[in-house]
Amino acid sequence: MTTSSLAENFNQYFEIIFAGTADLKEKGYQIRHHVYAEELGWEPVSEDGFETDEYDRYAYSLLLKHKRTGAYAGTVRLIIPPPNAPESKLPFENHFIDSLLPEVKLPCDYNRGAYGEVSRLAVPEDFRRRAGEKKQPFIVNELVGDGAFSEEERRNFPNIAIGLYLSVISFAKMCNHETMFVVVEPRLKKRLERVGLFFEQIGEEKDYHGIRALFCLPRENFESKFNVEMLELYQSLEEQLIKQIKLHPYLVQGE
């Protein structure tokens, strides 16, 4: 019997979608509202059922679609400050700037347009239901449960967040970014290292919806630490995105 690879198995059930239209962006806002506002209570409930903020003006979102049902199994965004709008900040610059470790390279040390922050990764409850994990926007772990999905489908659910991480990293690579920033729980860093994502902690831990810290992933670590199977999944997601995205170079006004 032939065993499917991680990428083959994952791609049997899911596909990555670039949210390049208003309708697709709203699908992501709805997932975020369901998870961050209705379920976790971290953001206020809104009448329109969308969770948005000021960073969405210069953020680019991805969606993971469950092929059989057509349901969206998760979303993530990459916030890229425009080079000609110095007042536009990354979320960590407003909430974690005071926690930075000494001698850390700051956004101002990079060319604007050459970095971004991963944010608002969210997976609906139906795709991550697990005892003890109900107060998390997503999981990177084993899970159990029942419902509308087969056991074979559910075995792929712990890889949803990984698929979203790999996709947003491939998007940053396509944008020719030098680094990316993310605020996560320190324990998540250890879980991500198991799949080859070696984020570097650059900020002290602080209480922000739980204990979190600022991390960065330099370009040289985007894909260099993956094992063969994880690299295959990363490359397959990258191939899907390349077909959907037309990139335009950032130009500072007047150039």
Q: What is the pLDDT along the chain (255 residues), one digit of tens a residue?
A: 456 788 998 999 999 999 999 999 999 999 999 999 999 899 999 999 999 999 999 999 999 999 988 999 999 999 999 888 888 999 999 999 889 998 887 777 888 889 999 999 999 988 875 444 455 554 454 433 445 556 656 666 678 999 999 999 999 999 999 999 999 998 888 888 988 999 999 999 999 888 999 999 999 999 999 999 999 999 999 999 999 987 766 554 444
Which helix H or strand E contains 193, and what residues bound it? Answer: helix 186-193
Contacts of 204 (CB under 8 A, 6+ apart): 99, 100, 101, 213
By three-state DSSP, how is residue 77 classified? Answer: strand
What's residue 152's pLDDT? 59
What's residue 164's pLDDT? 96
Alpha-carbon distances of 139 from 71, 129, 157, rounded to whole Å: 18, 9, 9
Decide the pairing of beta strands 72-79 and 200-201.
unpaired
The helices-and-strands tally (H runs, E runs) of the chain is 7, 8
What's residue 4's pLDDT? 78
DSSP of 46-75:
-TTS----GGGGGEEEEEEEETTT--EEEE
Between helix 228-242 and helix 6-13 the angle, nearest 10°, is 40
What's residue 212's pLDDT? 93
Choose the CATH number for 6-242 among 3.10.20.90, 3.40.630.30, 2.60.120.920, 3.40.50.740: 3.40.630.30
Question: Encoding tokens for residue 12?
Answer: 């049997």
Q: The pTM is what?
A: 0.86
Residue with tokens 């953020």: 59
Which helix H or strand E contains 120, and what residues bound it? Answer: strand 115-122
Question: Encoding tokens for residue 64?
Answer: 């993971």
Beta bridge partners of 118: 78, 182
